[in-house]
Structure 1
Amino acid sequence: MHFLKVYRRVLALLAPDRWVAIGLAFAALAIAGLSFLEPVLFGRVVDLLARSERIEPEALWTEAFALLALWAAVGLSSIGANVATALLSDRMAHRNRLTVMGGYFEHVLSLPLSFHGDTQSGRLMKVMLLGSDNLFAFWLSFFREHLVTFIAAAVLLPLTLIMNWRLGLLLVALVVLFAVVSAWVISKTHAAQSQVEALHTQLAGNAQDALSNVMVVQSFTRLGSEARLFRDIITQVLDRQFPVLNWWAVVSVLTRSAATLTVIAIFMLGTLLHLRGQATVGEIVSFMGFATLLIARLEGAVAFVSHLLLQTPALEQFFAVLDSRSSVPEKPDAASLGRVTGDVRFDQVAFAYPGGPRILDGIDFHAPPGRTVALVGQTGAGKSTAMALLQRLWDPVDGSITLDGHDLRDITLESLRRNIGVVFQEALLFNRSIRDNLVVGRPDATQEEIERACRMAEAHDFIAMKPQGYDTMVGERGSSLSGGQRQRLAIARALLKDPPVLILDEATSALDAATEARVQKALKALMAGRTTFIIAHRLSTVRDADEILVFEGGRVVERGGFAELVKLDGRFAELVRTQLSLAEST
């Protein structure tokens, strides 16, 4: 059963704490045994009182005192075992919840951009928080309360057959009937609850999508539409949730009725057996105690199982993310490179997304250390895809890419990306201080090194003017800074990382002319002595490149220097003329 498979995996997550879990299981067995003894002792006391007239007073008091002393010892032991179980289960659940959250977070960060492009960040956060909370709730309640119930039903309930097999069979039959009804309800409601959880996830994703684009929502007067879409999903959640709740309401009523019906059934059968001399009054009282205890625990267990049913889809989503595998797996014996010289070679590289046509084919070029190579062409020609392959965000379907003679697939991802710096079209900044954003690629950088990188990037002066200087918070996505300031911080960040290979991905295309001039000066400082790849639409920015590769339809159709390609009067010259005519018309 899939339901059980999910929870076997939930318990398997406790492997690092297996000995604590095993200890809690033994404690639960002890608690179940002690709970079993209390009705037995109560029955013995009743039988003792029933035959008290036939026993000498001194012997009666001796036997009564022994039973009461044993009963007190059982009660105190049960209290101690419950306290120890509560403390250990609470700490184990808290500890493993945070461990699982940390593992999930690290795993998601390691997944390729293709995964994040298809999955909303709001959904991932919702899956992490809800999944870890459900894991915590299961571990805590299972080990602190309900494991005792399952042990009592599976191990101790059959022991009642030894006391009185007739009453024992009745009790077993009633418990089995109770379990069968609960299992039937679970099977009826599992699929419906999965739909509910999928809608909850959609709700979180839509909310995150709207909040992250609140400027668009307000500018295009989408407030009513977005709120209406949100309410529509809420309505769907309620329409699917209420039938599930109705089923569990029925089970709740049956559960509460079961306690009364079971006690009445045992009393009636016990009275009949007593009249036949097949059961003592003490045995009847003991079995009524067993019934009350078991039904009360089973009522809690049914509520627990119903909660498990409600949270199963959320756990399935949690495990689905954990089971997501990278499209660029790292070899077990991958080499960890130190600082490379920056020799890059594409050897007949081809690439296609899974199930799609080739969008790169026959890409072949060599960039020796320190060389500047520009990639130009229309949108969709394959420039950014080629540089994504260099960072090993994807693997080529044919050919190879090497760095200092090493195939990228034979290098650890960490050492590969440590040697590559990227300045994006949009400076991607954390909602942290300026200093924290600068040192993401080099956490051990000194203040002197940070300031030197910022001076080279033309960023130190505007940072010094901020109220808290380098400790100034930049806001979400750097909202407190201008576009030029954000871009100069991105350049300073790359300078501080000091990578031998640099990728400039449309690094100045979003800037005005005055800001671009300052940023270009910073870029020249950054490019010095590095193997640099420039992805550009503005052809004026690639005039000084050592080699220009013209992409079209996923192939390199022309290559050479700026003047050489203009003189060739081919595709590049046509692009230059188009941009010049557009500039003149504006």
Structure 2
Amino acid sequence: MQFIRLYGRVLGLLAADRWVAWGLALSALALAGLQFLEPVLFGRVVDLLSRSSSLGEQALWAEAATLLLVWGSVGLAGIGANVAVSLLADRMAHRNRLRMMNRYFSHVLSLPLAFHGDVQSGRLMKVMLVGSDNLFGMWLSFFREHLITFISALVLLPLTLVLNWRLGLILIVLVVVFTLVTAFVIRKTQAAQMQVERFHTRLAGNAQDALSNVMVVQSFTRLRSEAKQFSDIMRQVLDHQFPVLNWWAVVSVMTRACSTLTVIGIFVLGTVLHVRGQATVGDIVSFMGFATLLISRMEGAVAFISHLLFQAPALEEFFQVIDTRSTVPEKPDALDLPRSTGHVRFDHVGFAYPGGSRILADIDFDAPPGSTIALVGQTGAGKSTAMSLLQRLWDPVEGAVTLDGHDLRDITLESLRRNIGVVFQESMLFNRTIRENLLVGRPEASQEEIERACRLAEAHDFITRQPQGYDTMVGERGASLSGGQRQRLAIARALLKDPPVLILDEATSALDAATEARVQVALRNLMEGRTTFIIAHRLSTVREANTIMVFENGKVMERGTFEELVAADGRFAALVKTQLMGAQVPVAG
């Protein structure tokens, strides 16, 4: 059953703490045994009192003292075992909850951009937080309570048959009825609860989507529409949740009825057996204690199972993310590449997304160390896709991309990306201090190195004017800084990383002319001595490139220097004329 398989996997995550888990299991066995002894001892006390008239006072007190001493010892041992279970279970559950959060977080960060493009960040956060909390609750409740119930049902319950098999059969029937009713309701409600969890995920995704685009929501007066969409999903959650709750309410009523009938049955059958001389009053009292204990345990188990059913979809989502495999797997014997010389080659590269049509075809070029290569062309021509292959966000379906003669698939991802720096069109900053954002690519850099990089990036002066200088918080996505300031920080970050290969992905296209002029100075400092790839729509920014490649429909249609391509009067020349006509600026060269 899928339900049992999921539960088994949750417990299997504790493999690192298996010795603690075994210790808890032994403690649970001891607790189950001690709890089994208490009704037995109570029954023996009742039997002793019922025959007290036939015993002498001295014999009565001696036997009573022995029973009370044993009972007290059992009680103290039970308290000790409970304390041990609580402490060990709590610590193990907390430790493994954080361990699984760390594993999930690290795994999601390592997944390629293709995964993140398809999955909302709000959903990923919700899956991590809810999933890890559910794991914590399951581990804690299993070792604190439900392992004892399991042991009692499978091991100790048959021992009641030794005491009185007729009364023991009633308890076994009770357990069977509990199990059958619970299994039936699980089958009836499992699919519905999965649907409820899907709606919960949509709620989290829609909320994150609206909050991350709050400016659009307010500017386009989407407040009512977004709120209504949220309310509609909430109604669907309730419509699907209520039938599930109804079924479990029925289970609660039925289990309570079974419990009452069991107690009545033990009393009636015990009375009959007592009259026939087949059971003592102490036996009846002991079995009443067994029934009360077992009913309490079974009701707790049913509540736990119903809770687990509600948690199962969230846990399934958690494991789905954990099980997601990267589209760019790393070889076990991958090379940890030291600092590269920056020699990049695309060797007849072709690429298509899984199940999609060809996006790149026969891309073949060589970029010697220190050269500057510009990629130009219309949107969707394949420029950014080619640079995605250089960062190994995808693997080519034909040919190979190499760095210093090594196929990128033979290099560890960490060492590959350590050798590549990227300055994006949208400077992506963390909601942290300026210093922390700069240290992203090189955490060990000194203050002197940080300031040198910022001066080269034309950023030091505006940073020192900030309220706390380098320790100023930049806000979410760098909201407290202007576009030019954010971009110069991104350039300083790349300078500090000092990569031999650099990708400038529309690094100045979102800036005004005055800001772009300052950023271009910083970019020239950044490009010096590095193999640089420039993706640009503004053709004036690629004039100094050693080679310009014109992409069209996933192919390189032209290549050469700026002057050579303009003189050829082909596609590149047409693009230059179009831009110059649009800007109403005279053509030079």
TM-score interval, smaller chain: over 0.9
Deviation sequence 1:345-369 (CA, Å, 0-9, x none)? 0000000000011100100000000
Q: Which residue of 1 aligns with 2:328?
A: 328
Between 1:21-30 and 1:178-187, the stretch displaced more is 178-187
1:414 is paired with a residue whose SS is helix
Identity %: 77
Aligned equivalents of 1:280, 1:468: Cα separation in 2:
83
Q: Which amino acid aligns with 1:2?
A: Q
Q: Which residue of 1 aligns with 2:411?
A: 411
TM-score w.r.t. length of structure 1: 0.99
Aligned equivalents of 1:468, 1:164: Cα separation in 2:
79
Q: Which residue of 1 aligns with 2:106?
A: 106
* C-alpha contact 1:539 1:576 (8 A) present in aligned 2: yes
How far residue 542 of structure 1 moved from its aligned partner, in angstroms, is 0.5
How far residue 408 of structure 1 moved from its aligned partner, in angstroms, is 0.2
Aligned equivalents of 2:169, 2:222: Cα separation in 1:
66
Q: Which residue of 1 aligns with 2:488?
A: 488
2:511 is paired with a residue whose SS is coil
1:336 is paired with a residue whose SS is coil
Aligned equivalents of 1:69, 1:186: Cα separation in 2:
45
Aligned equivalents of 1:164, 1:255: Cα separation in 2:
24
Q: Which residue of 1 aligns with 2:456?
A: 456
Q: Which residue of 1 aligns with 2:54?
A: 54
2:347 is paired with a residue whose SS is strand
1:440 is paired with a residue whose SS is coil
Q: Which residue of 2 aligns with 1:474?
A: 474
1:163 aligns with 2:182: no
Q: Which residue of 1 aligns with 2:135?
A: 135
Q: Which amino acid aligns with 2:474?
A: V
* C-alpha contact 1:346 1:366 (8 A) present in aligned 2: yes
1:39 is paired with a residue whose SS is helix
Aligned equivalents of 2:479, 2:173: Cα separation in 1:
67
How far residue 255 of structure 1 moved from its aligned partner, in angstroms, is 2.3
Equivalent residues in 2 for 1:17-416, closer than 5 Å? 17-416=17-416
Structure 1 residue ranges, 4+ long, deviating more than 3 angstroms after superposition: none
How far residue 59 of structure 1 moved from its aligned partner, in angstroms, is 2.1
* C-alpha contact 2:383 2:535 (8 A) present in aligned 1: yes
2:157 is paired with a residue whose SS is helix
Aligned equivalents of 2:247, 2:284: Cα separation in 1:
34
Q: Which amino acid aligns with 1:457?
A: A
CA 406–585 in structure 1, closer or farther in 2 if over 3 Å, else same:
closer
How far residue 257 of structure 1 moved from its aligned partner, in angstroms, is 2.5
Between 1:183-192 and 1:122-131, the stretch displaced more is 183-192
Q: Which amino acid aligns with 1:339?
A: R
Aligned equivalents of 1:585, 1:242: Cα separation in 2:
68
Unaligned 5+ runs, structure 1: none
Unaligned 5+ runs, structure 2: none
Aligned equivalents of 1:368, 1:50: Cα separation in 2:
101
2:114 is paired with a residue whose SS is helix
Aligned equivalents of 2:269, 2:178: Cα separation in 1:
19
Q: Which residue of 1 aligns with 2:437?
A: 437
* C-alpha contact 2:505 2:536 (8 A) present in aligned 1: yes
2:9 is paired with a residue whose SS is helix
How far residue 63 of structure 1 moved from its aligned partner, in angstroms, is 1.4
2:443 is paired with a residue whose SS is coil
Aligned equivalents of 1:538, 1:585: Cα separation in 2:
13
* C-alpha contact 1:337 1:411 (8 A) present in aligned 2: yes
1:13 is paired with a residue whose SS is helix
How far residue 282 of structure 1 moved from its aligned partner, in angstroms, is 1.1
Aligned length: 586
* C-alpha contact 1:423 1:490 (8 A) present in aligned 2: yes
Equivalent residues in 2 for 1:542-561, closer than 5 Å? 542-561=542-561
Deviation sequence 1:355-408 (CA, Å, 0-9, x none)? 011100100000000000000000000000000000000000010010000000
Aligned equivalents of 2:487, 2:83: Cα separation in 1:
58
Aligned equivalents of 2:143, 2:171: Cα separation in 1:
25
How far residue 301 of structure 1 moved from its aligned partner, in angstroms, is 1.1
Aligned equivalents of 2:517, 2:238: Cα separation in 1:
57
Q: Which amino acid aligns with 2:525?
A: A
Between 1:389-398 and 1:138-147, the stretch displaced more is 138-147
Deviation sequence 1:59-99 (CA, Å, 0-9, x none)? 22211211111111111111111111111111111111111
Deviation sequence 1:233-259 (CA, Å, 0-9, x none)? 000000111111111111112222232
Aligned equivalents of 2:254, 2:72: Cα separation in 1:
34
Between 1:176-185 and 1:498-507, the stretch displaced more is 176-185
Aligned equivalents of 1:114, 1:342: Cα separation in 2:
26
* C-alpha contact 2:174 2:259 (8 A) present in aligned 1: no
* C-alpha contact 2:274 2:280 (8 A) present in aligned 1: yes
Aligned equivalents of 1:254, 1:65: Cα separation in 2:
42
* C-alpha contact 1:259 1:296 (8 A) present in aligned 2: no
Q: Which amino acid aligns with 2:373?
A: V
TM-score w.r.t. length of structure 2: 0.98
Deviation sequence 1:320-350 (CA, Å, 0-9, x none)? 0000110000000000011010000000000
1:537 aligns with 2:552: no
Q: Which amino acid aligns with 1:362?
A: D
Deviation sequence 1:21-51 (CA, Å, 0-9, x none)? 1111110110000000011111111122222
How far residue 585 of structure 1 moved from its aligned partner, in angstroms, is 8.8
Aligned equivalents of 1:585, 1:311: Cα separation in 2:
64
Between 1:360-369 and 1:272-281, the stretch displaced more is 272-281
Aligned equivalents of 2:504, 2:358: Cα separation in 1:
25
Aligned equivalents of 2:257, 2:82: Cα separation in 1:
28
1:325 is paired with a residue whose SS is coil
How far residue 54 of structure 1 moved from its aligned partner, in angstroms, is 2.4
How far residue 178 of structure 1 moved from its aligned partner, in angstroms, is 1.5
* C-alpha contact 1:339 1:419 (8 A) present in aligned 2: yes
Deviation sequence 1:520-565 (CA, Å, 0-9, x none)? 1110000000000000001111000000011001000111101101
Q: Which amino acid aligns with 1:106?
A: S
Q: Which amino acid aligns with 2:518?
A: R
CA 497–581 in structure 1, closer or farther in 2 if over 3 Å, else same:
same
Q: Which residue of 2 aligns with 1:579?
A: 579
Q: Which amino acid aligns with 2:191?
A: A
* C-alpha contact 2:338 2:415 (8 A) present in aligned 1: yes
* C-alpha contact 1:457 1:522 (8 A) present in aligned 2: yes
How far residue 142 of structure 1 moved from its aligned partner, in angstroms, is 1.1
